[in-house]
Structure 1
Amino acid sequence: MRNIKHGYLLLVYLFLICSCNAPTFRILEKPIVFDEEREKLSIEYLNVRHGLDKESATIEPSMVVVHWTAVPTLEGTFDVFNPVHLGGRPELTTASNLNVSAHFLVDRDGTIFRLLPDTTFGRHTIGLNYTAIGIENIGGPDDPLTKAQLKANAALVRYLHKKHKLTYLIGHHEYYDFQGTEIWKETDPDYLTQKQDPGQKFMKQLRKKLTDLNLKSKP
């Protein structure tokens, strides 16, 4: 009996140690500038590009779009998203001077930063911005996304699904599948960009971790 009791106590002790050392899901706040000018340009984008007449730059999320940054550092990426006005990308400025952005940014070690509130408009996916939460990951073709980022994305999507009862989870490279559907809202049928992020391998791994949520990849 004494050995059984000691064995039980050891198991409890080990469980407590593992629980204390287990990573805690948390989001760190790192907001980009969202002033009156960005609000104005966002409302204008919703109207001109998505055909939606809104009084505020808000969205009703139904999907998450996963990206990679193609910028190798967190601060470098933040410096790209932070300005209100878009610069140096003529293929996008023809549609709007509103800068690109995302709601969340995941560093190489899996640390999650919130750049925008979940229900605030962000320009990150043509045709779907009005309903999509964007998750950017530090990395790119030469810097494949890490296991820590995979775990962080899975935890973040679970958190967002619990809040918003999402329907879709897609990679940026999969957004073309929504053209011609009721979900697609882009007033210019020729306004498209070619995307490969975050890649089929990462999305396959991410979906495997989230199979129980039954999130769709296509309309």
Structure 2
Amino acid sequence: MKKIFVVLWMTAVLVSCGVSSDIPQVIVDKPIVFNEQRIELTKEYLEDRYNLSGDSVEITPKMIVLHWTAIPTFEGSYRAFYEPTLPSWRPDIESVSGLNVSTHFLVDRDGTIYRLMPETYMGRHVIGLNHCAIGIENVGGTDKTPLTRKQSKANIWLVEYLVDKYDIDYLIGHYEYTQFENHPLWLEVDEGYRTEKTDPGEKFMKRVRQATKKYNFKPVPEK
């Protein structure tokens, strides 16, 4: 794959998919660096972590995972995903892969939706499930910067937008990912590679799930 996806400009994309949320139907493209280095690291991740080899970094989305960044600003959150390799402040996961974390969408606290990478490229945002999951990160999640009502509305709209495009079976919060350990979608080869997560919070997930229950997502496996 020779395609290089780098940040060149910021483009507002109007989306008319007939979803019901009252959030403005706009996605702002603000790409992170997805160059040949990131492509190669992504291929390595797919092979080393999931035993999936090939020349493509494309995925077939079956799941949407909601997150918070635990970083109080959009600028800081965006920088965390921007480079192809992990920053020095992530030694906790560097031994697993040098591929930087990434997400397909980043939602600011005012509800603005940014698309950071192609929706069908693999992003590193959820252990064991990256090969089938679209990630939505939300700026904030700290005591001083809790997730906002505008963010929940934006997430609801974005879930509806993605369901309209892809055959999505699951909608989960990051804190629920380990419940898939015995599920056919779970591919992580290292039984010791896990991190504890609480994002995006049960209250936030309940709000989004309630608003999107018409899609009859499959239930998250019980603990």
Q: Same fold (TM over 0.5)?
A: yes
User: Could you say which residue in structure 1 is the equivalent of 2:182?
Assistant: 180
Residue 96 of structure 2 is aligned to residue 85 of structure 1:
no
Q: In the alignment, residue 68 of structure 1 is paired with which amino acid?
A: W
Deviates more, 1:34-43 or 1:45-54: 45-54
Q: Which runs of 5+ in 2 are unaligned?
A: 1-21
Q: How does 1:66-81 map to 2 (within 5 A)?
A: 66-81=66-81
Q: How does 1:2-151 map to 2 (within 5 A)?
A: 23-87=23-87, 88-142=89-143, 143-151=145-153
Q: Contact 1:170–1:217 at 8 Å: present in 2 too?
A: no
RMSD between superposed Cα atoms in Å: 1.0
User: Could you say which residue in structure 2 is the equivalent of 1:189?
Assistant: 191
Residue 171 of structure 2 is aligned to residue 169 of structure 1:
yes
Distance of 1:40 and 1:99 partners within structure 2: 12
1:200 is displaced (CA, Å) by: 0.7
Distance of 1:214 and 1:49 partners within structure 2: 30
Deviates more, 1:88-97 or 1:100-109: 88-97
Pairs aligned (count):
198
User: Could you say which residue in structure 2 is the equivalent of 1:5?
Assistant: none
User: Could you say which residue in structure 2 is the equivalent of 1:214?
Assistant: 216
Distance of 2:180 and 2:115 partners within structure 1: 26
Distance of 2:206 and 2:159 partners within structure 1: 14
Q: In the alignment, residue 57 of structure 2 is paired with which amino acid?
A: A
C-alpha change, 1:38 and 1:175, in structure 2 (3 Å) is: same
- C-alpha deviations, 1:56-89, integer Å up to 9, x for none? 1111100000000000111111111001110221
1:24 is displaced (CA, Å) by: 2.6
1:23 is displaced (CA, Å) by: 4.6
Secondary structure of residue in 1 paired with 2:65: strand
1:216 is displaced (CA, Å) by: 2.5
From the two aligned structures, give the one with the greater helix fraction: 1
Identity, in percent, stands at 52
Distance of 2:215 and 2:54 partners within structure 1: 31
1:135 is displaced (CA, Å) by: 0.1
1:91 is displaced (CA, Å) by: 1.6
Q: Mark the structure with the bigger radius of gyration.
A: 1
TM (normalized to structure 1)?
0.88
1:180 is displaced (CA, Å) by: 1.7
1:217 is displaced (CA, Å) by: 3.9
TM (normalized to structure 2)?
0.87
Secondary structure of residue in 2 paired with 1:182: coil
Dislocated runs of 4+, deviation >4 Å? none
User: Could you say which residue in structure 1 is the equivalent of 2:203?
Assistant: 201
- C-alpha deviations, 1:159-210, integer Å up to 9, x for none? 0001002000000000010002211010101100000000111101110000
Q: Contact 1:32–1:115 at 8 Å: present in 2 too?
A: yes
Q: Contact 2:107–2:136 at 8 Å: present in 1 too?
A: yes
Distance of 1:148 and 1:23 partners within structure 2: 8
Q: In the alignment, residue 109 of structure 2 is paired with which amino acid?
A: R
